[in-house]
A and B are shown apart, each in its own frame.
Chain A
Amino acid sequence: MPANNIIEISNLRRDFAVGTEVVYALRGLSFGVAQGEFVSIMGTSGSGKSTLLNILGCLDTPTSGSYVIDGTDVARLSRNELADIRNRKIGFVFQSYNLLPRTSVLENVELPLMYNRTYSSRQRRERAMEVIARVGLENRVQHTSAQLSGGQQQRVAIARALVTDPVIILADEATGNLDTRTSYEIMALFQQLHEAGTTIAFVTHEPDIAAFTNRTIKLRDGHIVDDSPVHPLDAQAALDALPTDEDY
């Protein structure tokens, strides 16, 4: 395994006890993600994608196996330690954006830094403005989520994920609520971030979205059935190729 893997998983298992039954959601996964990779995790519904992403995101811990992120073995950390890892090393992007309602773009993006005492309020603001500009919303800083389109809301969520300068961005069906054009716009943004060096793990069940990533891990019933590099399509080109007369 290359030494620059920021995520290292081996023989990862996650069982859920449901009543007297046990659901084996993940049945021994092993893989690594290197710095700067853009990975998609694919599979049908119920194949274990979200369970895997929750563990990668330190929201959940494995039943067995090991998970090392950026040199830290997180499998046996306490709740508070996991919270700190999430704050410093991970950026989440959710399918339903999960912005705070009635709160400005700026404050939504600043939020993760609120839980990091090393930032002064000025540094927080500067850093937030920086990432808001990166997702192209510098003219919407004081808007609230109700005043933004779905695509814009997802951009805010991406800015929020970027603001702590995490080692990896984890996205769970991040384009699931968006139309094709907006999905492509978001994928173009992810590709830009990837080119600038951001590591991204992207869960999706849509092959045409996975096609914009550089590597696809396919899950079925808690097993990895395929893990191969792909030559990514250019999302910007795909966007340009969309018929423009459509009424979006």
Chain B
Amino acid sequence: MNFSNLLRLALRAIMRNKTRALLTMLGIIIGIAAVIAMLSLGESVKKRMKDEFASMGTNSIMVVPARQHRGGVDMGNSSSKSLDLSDYRALVEGCHYVAAFSPEITSSGQMIFGSNNHFGSLTGVAPGYLLINNLEVERGLMFTDADVQSLAKVCVIGQTVVDELFADGTDPLGQTVRFNNKPMKIIGILKKKGQGNMGSDDDDVVLAPYTTVQKRFLGINYFFMLQASAVSQEASQLAADEIKHILRSTHHISEGDDDDFDIFTMDQVLSSMDKVMGLLTLLLTAIASISLVVGGIGIMNIMYVTVTERTREIGLRMAIGARQRDIMLQFLLESVVLSLLGGLIGIVVGILMAYGGTAAMALSYALSYKAIGISFVVCVAVGVFFGWYPAKKAANLDPIQAIRYE
């Protein structure tokens, strides 16, 4: 018998027992729905996290002084003063895979304009900081290397600071504010970035030349950290190697000794996050797929019932010339169709669940096409695997006994 006729037979047999078919498919429906929902939700969460990290710059690299241990006491890393101007200069000179560098130092304190004040931090950076952190100046200008040279008393502020200090609608551009009682002129306003990672406010920033912060506010000559941006995400590791090499030489670290600094690339963070998310999704999917096994056993059970109920039909088909293979395929296809139909319903339910879940978690919905593809394959596999023995039993019936079966 040809395939389309067998398919028609299978569909008709299922349609004759709709309720029974639906109950049989329940396990598959639940299993597939759970798998689809899990994978889609996982995908959505992953996408959200990626987007957030990407907004921080997927190429970005951070160099911080290593945590120092003295006599078993963790001295923290801020106590270390290992990164300074000579390191910065050597890196800018020597790195090929880095598009931009910027030192970073922060001073926290009170910022005052008129009768308004705002407690925050003043971040000392180089002009390259904008590129590294995907920031843009919306109005006005970023300070220049010349401003860095001259320790200029200028700053670029974020939207939160604008809202706090200039709530009355005064144009902040050109105004002079006082930070820890020292005057700073506002020359630029950053474009709004919105809620950042872990709930921090990326718009609560005041950027100033690093020299200004070092000398005029803190009176130090080292940096808290160095930021860099690799020429591409793929070049991140090469850039990190380069940086490590140069810093080891400027710090005179001999072969075999540990670095006195740590390098983090966003690339590493992203890939380890990918791994963790992947593992988590896999685990949840594995749990969900237990339901598929239960569903498969349900199908097997009902297929045995079907074969017994239709023994006479099988006998007749054999008597009029059905080969064993024809009978086998007829029942195998019926179980595959049953499983696939369950899978289809499960996919729809799963998509709805994922849709609801992402909406509830305020995530953007990411449909996992891979999951849908896998579901189809899994359903066929479940149908074949659990339909095999009942179909085999049907095909091995003795026609003489089958046709007289009561």
Decide whether A and B assemble into one complex. Answer: yes
Q: Is the CB of A59 within 8 A of B326?
A: no
Q: Is the CB of A114 within 8 A of B312?
A: no
Least CB separation from A114: chain B residue: B1
Against B, the Cβ 8 Å flags (1 = close, 0 = not) of A78-92 are: 011001101110001
Interface residues of B in 270-328 (CB under 8 A from A): 312-313, 315-326
Interface residues of A in 71-126 (CB under 8 A from B): 79-80, 83-84, 86-88, 92, 94, 98, 100, 102, 111-112, 114-117
Q: Is the CB of B321 within 8 A of A83?
A: yes
Least CB separation from B321: chain A residue: A87
Q: Is the CB of A100 within 8 A of B323?
A: no
Q: Among A84, A86, A114, which residue has its beta carbon within 8 angstroms of that of B5?
A: A114
B16 located at the interface, meaning its Cβ lies under 8 Å from any Cβ of chain A in the complex: yes
Nearest chain A CB to B307's CB is how many angstroms away? 15
Nearest chain B CB to A49's CB is how many angstroms away? 14
Residues of A within 8 A of B319 (CB): 57, 59, 86, 92, 98
Q: Is the CB of B320 within 8 A of A94?
A: no
Least CB separation from A81: chain B residue: B323
Nearest chain A CB to B328's CB is how many angstroms away? 12
Q: Is the CB of A111 within 8 A of B399?
A: no
Name the interface size band of chain B.
20 to 34
Interface residues of A in 35-86 (CB under 8 A from B): 54, 57, 59-60, 79-80, 83-84, 86
Q: Among B312, B320, B324, B399, which residue has its beta carbon within 8 angstroms of that of A112?
A: B320
Q: Is the CB of B400 within 8 A of A83?
A: no
A160 located at the interface, meaning its Cβ lies under 8 Å from any Cβ of chain B in the complex: yes
Complex CA gap A240/B316 in Å reads 34
Q: Is the CB of A100 within 8 A of B313?
A: yes
Q: Is the CB of A92 within 8 A of B320?
A: yes
Q: Is the CB of B320 within 8 A of A111?
A: yes
Q: Is the CB of A80 within 8 A of B320?
A: no
Residue count of chain A within 8 Å CB distance of chain B: 24
B378 located at the interface, meaning its Cβ lies under 8 Å from any Cβ of chain A in the complex: no
Complex CA gap A60/B313 in Å reads 18
Nearest chain B CB to A89's CB is how many angstroms away? 10
Q: Is the CB of A115 within 8 A of B312?
A: no
Q: Is the CB of B316 within 8 A of A98?
A: yes
Least CB separation from B4: chain A residue: A121
Nearest chain A CB to B255's CB is how many angstroms away? 77
Complex CA gap A94/B319 in Å reads 10
Nearest chain A CB to B400's CB is how many angstroms away? 5
Nearest chain A CB to B122's CB is how many angstroms away? 83
Q: Is the CB of A116 within 8 A of B321?
A: yes
Complex CA gap A98/B311 in Å reads 11
From A79, A88, A111, A115, name the one whose CB has the most chain B CB atoms within 10 angstroms.
A115
Residues of B within 8 A of A94 (CB): 403
Residues of B within 8 A of A111 (CB): 317, 320
Complex CA gap A87/B313 in Å reads 16
B181 located at the interface, meaning its Cβ lies under 8 Å from any Cβ of chain A in the complex: no
Q: Is the CB of A86 within 8 A of B316?
A: no
Q: Is the CB of A115 within 8 A of B400?
A: no
Complex CA gap A83/B322 in Å reads 6
Q: Among A54, A98, A115, which residue has its beta carbon within 8 angstroms of that of B321?
A: A115
Complex CA gap A116/B324 in Å reads 14
Q: Is the CB of B312 within 8 A of A98?
A: yes
Q: Among A54, A102, A160, which residue has its beta carbon within 8 angstroms of that of B320?
A: A160
Q: Is the CB of B1 within 8 A of A115?
A: yes
Complex CA gap A83/B315 in Å reads 12
Query: With A83-B318, A100-B313 known to touch, is A115 a contact of B403 (CB < 8 Å)?
Result: no
Complex CA gap A164/B322 in Å reads 13
Q: Is the CB of A112 within 8 A of B321?
A: yes
Q: Among B323, B325, B399, which residue has its beta carbon within 8 angstroms of that of A59?
A: B399
Q: Is the CB of A79 within 8 A of B400?
A: no
What are the 10 A-B residue pairs with the smallest beta carbon separation, nearest first? Answer: A87-B321, A112-B320, A115-B321, A83-B323, A98-B316, A86-B321, A80-B323, A59-B399, A114-B1, A59-B400
28 A–B pairs (Cβ distance < 8 Å), ordered by A: A54-B400, A59-B318, A59-B319, A59-B399, A80-B323, A83-B321, A83-B323, A83-B324, A84-B321, A86-B318, A86-B319, A86-B320, A87-B320, A88-B321, A92-B319, A94-B403, A98-B319, A98-B403, A100-B316, A102-B16, A111-B320, A112-B321, A114-B5, A115-B1, A115-B321, A115-B322, A116-B321, A117-B2
